[in-house]
Amino acid sequence: MKSDSNSYVVLNDLGLEHHTVPVRFDNVFKFTGGAQARVSGSTDIWCSKIQLAKQSGTRVVLDQDVVIEQSILFSGGLLDLNNKIVSLQPAALLLDENESSHVVGFNGGIVSIQLNMDTPSGANPGNLGAVISSSEHLGAVTIKRGHKMQSGFSLDHSINRYYDIEFAGGKSSAAKLRFAYFNTELNGQQSAAVRVYKSHDHGMHWNVQPNPVSSSGPDSYNRWTFATPGKAEENDSKNTSVLRAWPNPASGYFYVQARGKDDHLELQVHDVAGKLYKSLMVDPGSTTRISGLVPGIYMVTVQDKTFRKTERVVVQGKTD
């Protein structure tokens, strides 16, 4: 194939498979039709432009990471990340994303961009929906937009979108942030009720934030999402006995954290038939990583002399 910036490669109900050495394609790849298409290959695909013009609800599914030099234009259909990475170059953009045609990530995946930001005023790098303002030079900023529900300590479940933002220059305290999402990502929650949540440890612990966010705080890295305050936050604030297991469902390992009145807690993991897979003693408030489970439904139980709590966890993929 000859790479030509003046030409379109129209893929009508067709996918794209790439096995050559990595090379940038300057032409526009335009996906049309009503059948699902896949982007795959043995090497990363470097494109100047991609256009989605599929019928409503039809997906273009990534089986390989993609690098975008200029833009992805959304005219119809969904771009399913499928746990892959779309890397936007510093000037690249997502164009015309809307409620019916946008990025999704049923199995996870991120869209990322890294660039230098000099006193931004309402800047929206890559049109990812993270709007940043600052009166100071921020230096190198990395924004990753994920499309998977978040859960953890003090957070039952979030919308199907989150942001990882890292300020390499350590100027995060000077930045003011606003975030966007689509109503189709609300994950059963009401838009009027959701609030911003922040995690500094990649989604283990969460704290509700003012909405809109006035500052990202002193940490150089934070993860952000939207969720409705619920029982998790209420229980944590009252310092009662609690049990949390996340992410749920888990496509790999998952974490368990509990709090009781005794100095030590007994943690057990059974399958639905009652077979014991894990049994160990943990400290209250500590985080335990559970791995080595085959796909299935598991019952996570934590108990001490005063309480017993059980959480149901679905494992969708083999854990490490």
Q: What one-character-per-residue DSSP string does 200-215 give? A: SSTTSB-EE--SSB--
| Span 45-61, pLDDT tens digits | 899 999 999 999 999 99
pLDDT at 306: 76
More confident position, 265 or 115: 115
Among 77, 306, 289, 81, residue whose Cα is nearest residue 202: 289
Among 192, 300, 168, residue whose Cα is nearest residue 245: 300
Q: Identify the bridge partners of residue 65 per DSSP, sorted by sequence position.
A: none
**79-117 burial: b if 16+ Cβ within 10 Å, else e:** bbbbbbbbbbbeebbbeebeeebbbbbebbbbbbbbbeb
pLDDT at 106: 83
Average pLDDT over residues 139-143: 93
CA angle 113, 119, 121 (to 5 degrees): 80
Q: Where are the domains of the chain?
A: 8-227, 239-315
pLDDT at 237: 45
Q: Which fold has domain 239-315?
A: Immunoglobulin-like (2.60.40)
Report how far residue 165's alpha carbon sits from residue 162's, in angstroms, rounded to the nearest whole number: 10
| Span 193-239, pLDDT tens digits | 899 999 988 887 888 887 666 555 556 889 999 999 865 444 444 44
Close Cβ partners of 301 (under 8 Å, ≥ 6 residues apart): 267, 268, 269, 270, 308, 309, 310, 311
